[in-house]
Structure 1
Amino acid sequence: MRATSWLLLLYSLPTGQKTERVAIWRRLKKMGAVQIKTSTYLLPDETAQYEQFQWLAQQIRDYGGDSTLVRAQEIEGLTKEKVTAMFNDARAKDYAELRRSLQSFIGRRKRMDAEETAAELERLTRQFREIRAADFFDSPRGHDVAMLLRRAEGPKRARQLEKLEVKHYQGKTWLTRPRPEIDRVGSAWLISKFIDRKPKFVFAPTADAVPDAIPFDMLDAEFSHHGNYCTFETGAQRLGEGGLAG
């Protein structure tokens, strides 16, 4: 999303309305709004978000409170980059919580029956979709959790990995997401050591950002998580014997 303006919801509720206050806070959290001051929340200026704020403003008035909805091109003291970072930080926290739940589920899955597994997986998938719907600026953490969710879905998604012919992967540009962690760092080492003698590595949040590059450890990329394999393991499996670049 490339927001060119912002929506601000300013509101107040009568003292003592704790239940109503919590209900409003939960609604704001679910729609992905970020707080910039006490009782002042922010969303990108898009039709869907405007309608959500309108509905919430009316609910606040129904509770006996006051609400004002403002459209602003700029917010003093907050650049677009800072606002985007605020949204991404908020979504990163949501994704981190979901990531912990997914890791716990993966660890317990073998001890669960089919009905329990399906119910919890459905709940986790629904939670991911809700966070994703409020991920207006494509938080990098979302891709990590999406791949972990695929792993949580189990080996049914795995497919036979074709052996890699390294001669077709020489002097290529390899693309991954910014701020690499251990799997991406290890995968880059594997690429430079055993696949591509002269690789060039670039970083971007999405695979289509650099059209001619080969994405790795990104959602739906050829070099990524497959079944229970992480990206590094996928690359190692595809190399097989005799597939080293030398």
Structure 2
Amino acid sequence: MSDSVTWLLLAYRIPSEPSRLRAGVWRKLKALGAIYVQNSVAALPEDATAERALRALRAEIGQMGGTAQLLRADALAGGADLVTAYNTARDDEYEEIVDRCRDFLAEIEKETAEKHFTYGELEENDEDLTKLRGWFDKVTARDRLGASGREATVLALDACTTALDGFADAVYAADTDGS
């Protein structure tokens, strides 16, 4: 796969002050899933969505008083390194979600052990799981080169769903018993 990936490269310069401009560009590139090839040179696998986003960011950099060039590139050598770096970035994001899933499961266990079966707690946990799924959807959308961490994340989210379903059953049973 590394030989067939075409990359979009955004090479940019931004005035050093105010530093919030540089941080804003970094955040936008991170949200897109870009990896840095060098300082101020970010790469994304080519697709229409990435191109639109990078063209818009290039225009924004110009409005900040900076300069930017958007390039299409095929790696002559080192392409596998770019793919590895890109997939490692996705795997790191997947691992963060798995870690949060562990926290979620620990919270469900704690609430279950304390028999804290309230609709308020159920709603809070449901919102937390919805956020985790939304985060997963964003990472999955950026995962255009097939990072290996996706499957473990799917399993972790499934475990969270099962745990929440069990907690909901306990909340409903407590409600029924209490009436």
TM range (shorter): 0.7 to 0.9
Q: Is the 8 A contact 1:150 1:157 kept in 2?
A: no
What secondary structure is seen at the aligned counterpart in 2 of 1:68?
strand
- 1:84 pairs with 2:83: yes
Q: Give the total of aligned pairs.
A: 156
**Structure (1 or 2) with the larger CA radius of gyration:** 1
In 2, Cα distance between the equivalents of 1:142 and 1:100? Answer: 13
In 2, Cα distance between the equivalents of 1:10 and 1:118? Answer: 42
Instruction: For 1:78, give the aligned amino acid.
Output: G
Greater RCO (Cα-Cα under 8 Å, separation 6 or more): 2
- 1:11 pairs with 2:19: no
Paired residue for 1:187?
A: none
Over residues 22-73 of structure 1, what are the superposed CA-to-partner deviations in whole Å (9 max), with x where a residue is unaligned? 1111111111110010000001111111111101111111111111001112
Instruction: For 2:94, give the aligned amino acid.
Output: Y
TM-score, normalised on structure 1? Answer: 0.59
Describe how 1:141-156 pairs up with structure 2 within 5 A.
141-154=149-162
Identity %: 24
Q: Is the 8 A contact 2:8 2:46 kept in 1?
A: yes
Instruction: For 2:24, give the aligned amino acid.
Output: A
In 2, Cα distance between the equivalents of 1:155 and 1:94? Answer: 22
In 1, Cα distance between the equivalents of 2:108 and 2:163? Answer: 12
Unaligned segments of structure 2, at least 5 residues: 167-179
Give the Å deviation of 1:74: 2.5
Give the Å deviation of 1:119: 1.1
Over residues 118-153 of structure 1, what are the superposed CA-to-partner deviations in whole Å (9 max), with x where a residue is unaligned? 111111111111111111111111110011101101
Q: Is the 8 A contact 1:102 1:148 kept in 2?
A: yes
Over residues 149-190 of structure 1, what are the superposed CA-to-partner deviations in whole Å (9 max), with x where a residue is unaligned? 0110125779xxxxxxxxxxxxxxxxxxxxxxxxxxxxxxxx
In 1, Cα distance between the equivalents of 2:54 and 2:31? Answer: 12
Paired residue for 1:68?
A: 69
